[in-house]
Amino acid sequence: MGKKGDLSNFECGMVVGARRAGLSISQSAQLLGFSRTTISRVYKEWCEKGKTSSMRQSCGRKCLVDARGQRRMGRLIQADRRATLTEITTRYNRGMQQSICEATTRTTLRRMGYNSRRPHRVPLISTTNRKKRLQFARAHQNWTVEDWKNVAWSDESRFLLRHSDGRVRIWRKQNENMDPSCLVTTVQAGGGGVMVWGMFSWHTLGPLVPIGHRLNATAYLSIVSDHVHPFMTTMYPSSDGYFQQDNAPCHKARIISNWFLEHDNEFTVLKWPPQSPDLNPIEHLWDVVERELRALDVHPTNLHQLQDAILSIWANISKECFQHLVESMPRRIKAVLKAKGGQTQY
């Protein structure tokens, strides 16, 4: 039985050539391996229009949402990214002669390139801090990976025993992940669980210190003197190292600033822009720890077990992992410059 279906432009040309050479429909079908119906259709179209189409006539039910309807649905998405499928369908059907169901809405949105995704969580950046982030990026835009190897990164993080899965979902296209209407802003907050402080550089992972109470200036001073100082003097004996910390209140306390001034001949404290976790690669190490915690076969049932699991996961982070994060710094700086100090994909 001859082949049926769509033909390439070359195959259409072969059909026309065979018929013009005097072959009958049956002879052409046998020679080329296409059905007699296909031979007849292609040659008839060539005779009537002087051209051929590689596609058969479209068949099946007509689409309920035409191009105009898709534009209407696109405007509904742009107006409310968090609308549910039911809400989008209801709003679309208002004032329309022919209503559609949720299944049609879902199919149409996917055809338009929209998918339901969780929004990226990014810090709320004020106008003043956007300027500071931009200034930092401009000041370090010529730093190479070799320069960033001299930086020791630090941060605190809290890990919870239990997690809530109640997350907001939004409608967006593949390339709209950083669109302002597709983001959920966050602020620093506390919570239950285990809090830890850690640091690392391109050369090695540093210590991970559990914090048994709220981190204040006195507790942070102990961390700086007992962990930061020996790490910096060991890793950067030539006094060419930079220590990075964010702008948490306990980091900016007078006793902390005075301690750093007393040791400024041993290393330099990197002047860090506010609201910039996307520039700190240690944030991605916290993500690694979080994912490994969730992937455990036996989940911790108390804070002691949770702390042990966190310390074990930290100690087993591969060198390739944290070195790759440091090597991403030039790209992060470029992203901040491109965003003019705004949020980035990191």
Say whether pLDDT at 157 is over 90.
Answer: yes
Taking residues 162-184, what's their average pLDDT?
A: 72
Say whether pLDDT at 4 is over 80.
Answer: no
Quick check: 316 and 116 in contact, CB under 8 A? no
* Cα–Cα distance list, 166 to 161, 180, 251, 288, 307 (Å): 16, 21, 33, 21, 25
Classify residue 238 by its DSSP letter: T
pLDDT, greater one: 213 or 293: 293
pLDDT of residue 189: 40
Q: 166-184 b/e with 16+ CB inside 10 Å = b?
A: eeeebbbbeebebeeebbe
pLDDT of residue 263: 96
Supply the angle between the helices 329-338 and 127-139 in degrees, to the nearest 10.
130
CA distance linking residue 207 with residue 282, whole number of Å: 13
> Which has the closest alpha carbon to 217: 250, 245, 247?
250
CA distance linking residue 64 with residue 67, whole number of Å: 10
163: confidence class by pLDDT, cuts 50, 70, 90: low
pLDDT of residue 1: 41
Taking residues 330-337, what's their average pLDDT?
A: 96
Quick check: 274 and 341 in contact, CB under 8 A? no
Taking residues 69-94, what's their average pLDDT?
A: 92
Say whether pLDDT at 19 is over 80.
Answer: yes
- The token pair at 311 is 């310390």
What are 102-156's pLDDT values in tens digits? 999 999 999 899 988 888 777 788 999 999 999 999 999 999 999 999 999 999 9
268: confidence class by pLDDT, cuts 50, 70, 90: very high
pLDDT of residue 250: 94
What are 204-238's pLDDT values in tens digits? 999 999 998 789 999 999 999 999 999 999 999 99
* Cα–Cα distance list, 172 to 67, 272, 275 (Å): 19, 33, 25
pLDDT of residue 93: 93
pTM for the model: 0.66
Supply the angle between the helices 102-111 and 85-93 in degrees, to the nearest 10.
100
Say whether pLDDT at 166 is over 50.
Answer: no
Quick check: 104 and 85 in contact, CB under 8 A? no
46: confidence class by pLDDT, cuts 50, 70, 90: confident
176's enclosing H/E stretch is none
pLDDT of residue 56: 52
